Structure 1
Amino acid sequence: MSDQDSTSMDESSLFSATVVCPAPVCRQFWKAGNYDIGHGSKATSQSIDVKNHLCVHPMFLHSNATSHKWAFGAIAELLDNAFDEIQNGATFVVIDKIPNPRDGNPALLIQDDGGGMDPEAIRHCMSFGFSAKKSKTSIGQYGNGFKTSTMRLGADVIVFSRHLKERSPTQSIGLLSYTFLRQTGCNKIVVPVVDYEFNASTGKYGPILPHGKKHFSLNLSMLLQWSPYSTEDELLLQFDDIGQHGTKIVIYNLWLNDEGHMELDFDSDVEDICINRGPKLFQKGKHVNPIYDQHMANLYHYSLRIYSSILYLRIPQCFRIILRGRVVEHHNIANDLKFWEIILYRPHIGGNVEVPVLTTIGFLKDAPHVNIHGFNVYHRNRLILVSFLFRNTQTVIIIKIVNPLLFLPCLRYLISPVF
């Protein structure tokens, strides 16, 4: 974090290193991890006080993000963060495309009206391994989802968050930029963050200066150079639609696929975000059945609207997922079954302990015209595994796992007699 390095960071090293080590970032995600360690900025590396904090190399940002093979899985992580904010008053999460003011290219917007983050919380969010989520109902627990998901979707992300504290409201801006780190030759992760606090006497937000004006100016200058917004007024303008509290995430320099096309497709459907699948759609099989081609079990791979509709087992009526201006209609997969039955399975752990696992088993209503079977696993109300197989059996299993460690014995038990 740039806060931790404020006393030792050499400002010139962050801006002049571009001349020494241009290192343009490859736009294809699976090829962008080739980080040349040998050409790192010497000034940056020598300024680190190793006694005070752990240094993480920027290459970790990319390798950490490879845990998401699927772009929609990364988006789901960010939706989880908004969903967890329901307990703090969140009523919606917006997913949309916005233009990058710098170059006009598409950027991905994810915004909620939850409690927001104060200056300390946004630093925890953009650090590694910290999580304040202790509730048994919270989806995120390990403090890694924001970093893996944003870096999987694009090379850069800027976060705007407004929080209502007991004393006075605050608003913070943080930047996590793989492009910045690569092109300045940094051999440690630097995250510029600036904070503002509401002044009741002036009725305006003013900068918070815990480390002095020079430190604030350094962070702000990095934000203005490497974010989509070139002036402080443009940055602060992003809070206008947040309201009294909430968080806005803008992911830009979105990754391309192996064919060089934008991985996220914003053009095929103006009310959806799709995976750019090109002309190969549905050509892997020999199916010409329109019911089969348009079935949810097939389209959730490519359509974020369909995937997000089944992402949660239940959604409170007070909360909405708004994708590109239209509310996502929640879909309970169990409603697609006929001759369904709920089975309570009690696996034995260590020979003595029994933990119940609820399963709903049935046949698809479209059977036998749609030859699909498989299972969905939900944990803490969240879909954690989807497995649809296209064969002659039409059984679908919906599993609600109480303890994810019981998944494998449960799966062996269920698949053997059914299939």
Structure 2
Amino acid sequence: MANGKRGIPLSTISPKFLHANSTSHTWPFSAIAELIDNAYDPDVHARQIWIDWTRIRGLDCLSFMDNGEGLTRARLHKMLSFGFSDKKAAKFHIPVGVYGNGFKSGSMRLGKDAIVFTKTRDTMSVGLLSQSYLEAIGAQRVLVPMITFRRDGHNHVEDGASLRAILTYSLFNSEKELFAELRAISAAGPTGTRIIIWNLRTATNGETEFDFETDKYDFLIRANICDKSNMTPESEYSLRAYCSILYLKPRMQIIIRGQRVKSQLISKSLAQIAQDNYRPSFLNKRVRITFGYNTQSKEHYGIMMYHKNRLIKPFVKVSCQCKAERKGVGVIGVIECNFLQPTHNKQDFDDTDKYRKIMHNLSIKLEEYWNEIRYKRKKEDPKCTVAIEDVLKVPDQVWVQCDSCLKWRRLPDAITELPDKWFCSMNYDPQFRSCLIEEELEDEEEDQKSYPKPFKRQRRNTKSLLEENVPDSTQTQEQPVLTTTQAPRHPPASVMSGRSLAERSPLPLINLTALSNSLRRAKQKFSAIETQMEVMPYFPVPSLTLPQELCSQTLWPALNEERKTLTQSDTLVSKAACGMMEGIESHQGPAAAEKTCERDASSGTGREYSSAAEQIIELPLKNEKKEAVHHEGHVDDEEGEEEEECNLAEVQQWQDELIELMHETAEERDACRQELEVLREHSAALEDERNQFISRLESVEEEKSRLSALCDQLRSQLSELRDHSQRGKEDNDDSSKLRTLRLNLSRLLVSFIPSLHLEHVDYNSDVIDTILIQKQIACLENSTTKTDAEVSDLLQ
């Protein structure tokens, strides 16, 4: 078929593509998740979605109904077409759908036929996507019958053919049945969408892949399709369990077969929670990783990988968890990988170098957490023999979702049981006891720092003597002698401690007695220097000065810690000294060994072999000016000079170490200053906010004063109105009396003048007074005239 423009052919889609497209979902729950995503995305933004099983005309059917915004005719047509996706983020709600293919692949994976009922505020539409229909009519392209009913009655004339196709090839054979399904949407809300899928996929024995009988409130994958062992997470075969972790932070309620799914914040439902940060080289921001122990089963562990709030890969075991030593058993990691690209079925990520790097670093981070937790437990309870993964655990935090506003609230940790329905008004915290209040900030939103890692710090800074490999005697004899020109001036302590005894100096050339005496005198001088420095406010280094309180809080505790370390290592060093003495005896012979022992016994230095051996570790690489002693026959004055030079070198070494420590302290001071600046900025922001609140309070006070004056004015007006009403009432009473008087007077006049007609006179008007006065005068005149006539008659 050619297009009208330039005769270019159009690409068409074969009906067979519906089945081929659905094969991307090898797991049925991933297909259901596609339909849930369509209701969750911001263009629909449903608050609830109902998933149920029903039977229509003897066929098993799956139904999905949400109370979202519904679909117009144009949007329904795009939903039934391929590759159309115009979803946009709304505030913090990022859409999951990307490719415009989720409904087609998901619905056709579950069954061969699907019908869509949707209702907006102005229209109602029905659409059919059916492989059975296309096979029955022998279609060569995908056809989607659609009909739309408008509230104003102006329906599409061309919908007649679509209506006949729907009534012929769907489960509903009359318009009445179609309208009944559209009315069912009204039970969830004024708008929404309802999807019914039938001709479900079956196994070789004719049964559907879902088990609807074992649990009447769940969809289970049959045992012959999925192995339900203790090693298999429940989310692998239970739709209810899978939906509970489908979203990192759920914003929609999912109701399966009439019972609400108890969604959970997976990152808050763990024990021993620790937050770590990872900054990939291809990102300019840190990625948050949450580690913790599974509180339900130690056999279900791994990394929970989310993308745009949607679960992509659950319980992924990284390399350290797959090794024979089973490191990281029971540990769950939670990460949101928005920087990775998911596959079309949203059950995996594209295998790129970014994905491989993140998996490698996740393994390192998880192993660090594993070591830190074990180190912390051993430090707190050294006698405990129970593995930490075998200890019964409870979640560190308790979070619950309000059934009304769907906001998450944190509850006290002691809460263990919650009612079936929970609302914000039931909150223990009064400041979050209303649905109108925003959600409480989570830990990762409050503090972006990683958890402390003392085990990693200890392993990085120091190397245990027990891990050193002492070489054999042949390797020791082949080791060349270090001269003063070869030795570094001030080698770092970490390098010196990491070398073996043979690498520092050949044992036969060392006089243990001289070194022991030298060490004793050096310690005495060091004590004197330490006493003098305690009096001084700071160490006299021209390039760096520190406050006295900083020295007292940092330098001296560090020095004391070094002295404690020397004392604790006496046992290990004494063993090394014994080994070295055996080497000296074998090299110098029994006679020299006897002379050495006698001289040591007479001088009382036998107890100091451990200190001398320790000095052997430090001194050969510290002294530049010391000349090697090749035999024990040196004169005393030369030996004293060498010892003095050794002492000076030791003091110089300690001075250098103090300078290095002071530099480190200065760096810590600078870091503290930076934190102080941040706190000051925060304090200034709080002060500005306080001033704003004060100004708002003043404006409220002014408004209050104005309202108070207005209230007083209204009270005075009300009083005046009451007075006026009272006066009006009195006037009304006077008017009533006056009217009665006028009426009585009128009746009296009528008795004197029968021909006087006053029936239609208004007695409330002042005109009646004039009329009555005139009639009275006339009446008096008539009476006077009549009286004069009667007198005249009598006189006659």
TM-score of the two chains, using structure 1 as the length reference: 0.75
Looking at structure 2, the residues matched to 404 and 252 of structure 1 have their Cα atoms a distance apart, in angstroms, of 35
Is the 8 Å Cα contact of residues 195 and 207 (structure 1) preserved in structure 2? Answer: no
Corresponding residue for residue 408 of structure 1? 356
CA displacement 1:311-359 (0-9 Å, x = unmatched):
011123xx3211110111112233443222111111012xxx4342211
Alignment partner, residue 127 of structure 1: 81
Q: Any unmatched runs of 5+ in structure 2?
A: 342-353, 368-796
SS of the residue aligned with 1:409? helix
1:42-121, aligned counterparts within 5 Å? Answer: 53-85=10-42, 90-100=46-56, 103-121=57-75
Asked if the contact 2:245–2:265 (Cα under 8 Å) also holds between the matched residues in 1, the reply is yes
On the 8 A contact 2:250/2:265 being kept in 1, the answer is no
Partner of 1:237: 180
> Could you say what secondary structure the match of 2:61 adopts?
strand
Choose which of 111, 116, 123 in structure 2 pairs with 1:154: 111
Q: Which residue number in structure 1 is paired with residue 139 of structure 2?
A: 186
Change (3 A) 1:279 1:79: closer
Give the Cα separation in 2 of the matches to 1:51 and 1:300.
49
CA RMSD across the alignment: 2.5
Residue number in structure 1 paired with 2:291: 361
Look up the equivalent residue of 2:360 and give its one-letter code.
R
Does the 8 Å contact 1:372/1:388 carry over to 2?
no
What is the alpha-carbon distance in structure 2 between the residues aligned to residue 366 and residue 113 of structure 1? 33
- C-alpha distance in structure 2 between counterparts of 1:104 and 1:73, whole Å: 26
Q: Give the SS at the match of 2:185.
A: coil
Which of the residues 242, 246, 249 maps onto 1:314? 249
Is the counterpart of residue 396 in structure 1 residue 332 in structure 2? yes
Q: Distance in 1 between matches of 2:119 and 2:34?
A: 21
Deviation, structure 1 residue 88: 5.1
Aligned-pair CA distance for 1:279: 9.0
CA shift for structure 1 position 260: 3.0
Match of 1:11 in 2: none
Cα gap change, 1:147 to 1:280, in 2 (>3 Å): closer
2 CA distance for matches of 1:65 and 1:80? Answer: 16
Q: Quote the Cα distance in structure 2 between the aligned partners of 1:258 and 1:337.
A: 41
Report the Cα distance in structure 1 between the residues aligned to 2:36 and 2:25, rounded to whole angstroms: 15
TM-score computed with the length of structure 2 as normaliser: 0.40
Are the structure 2 counterparts of residues 47 and 254 from structure 1 closer, same or farther at C-alpha, using a change threshold of 3 Å? farther
CA 1:104–1:401 in structure 2 vs 1: closer, same or farther (change >3 Å)?
same
Matched letter for residue 171 of structure 1 = M
Structure 2: distance between partners of 1:183 and 1:249: 22
Deviation of 1:266 (Å): 1.4
Alpha-carbon distance change, 280 to 89 in structure 1, aligned in 2, over 3 angstroms: closer
Contact 2:112 2:198 in 1 (8 A): yes
Deviations along 1:203-227, one digit per CA (max 9) or x if unpaired, are xxx4622xx3xx3221111101111
1:328 to 237, 256, 261: 261
Alignment pair present for 1:143 and 2:106: no
SS in 2 for 1:307: helix
C-alpha separation in 2, matches of 1:382 and 1:279: 25
CA deviation profile, 1:79-98 (whole Å, cap 9, x unmatched)? 1111115x656221000012
Q: CA deviation at 1:231?
A: 0.8
Matches within 5 A, 1:9-20: none
Between the aligned partners of 1:373 and 1:207, the Cα distance in structure 2 is 58
CA distance in 1, matches of 2:139, 2:330: 54
Per-residue CA deviation, residues 224-251 of structure 1 (Å, 9 max, x unaligned), is: 1111101111112111121221100001
Aligned identity (percent) is 33
Contact 1:134 1:141 in 2 (8 A): no
Larger proportion of helix: 2
User: For 1:104 and 1:378, how far apart are their aligned partners in 2?
Assistant: 39
Name the residue aligned to 2:215: 269
Larger proportion of strand: 1
Q: 1:85-143 deviations in whole A, cap 9, x for unaligned?
A: 5x65622100001222xx32210010111110111110011000001202270111221
Higher RCO structure, 1 or 2 (CA under 8 Å, sep 6+): 1
Q: How many corresponding residue pairs?
A: 339
* Whole-angstrom CA distance in 2 between matches of 1:256 and 1:107: 12
SS of equivalent to 2:194: strand
Q: Structure 1 residue 174: deviation in Å? A: 0.4
| Residue deviations 1:350-382 (CA, integer Å, cap 9, x gap) | xxx434221111233356xx3343111111111
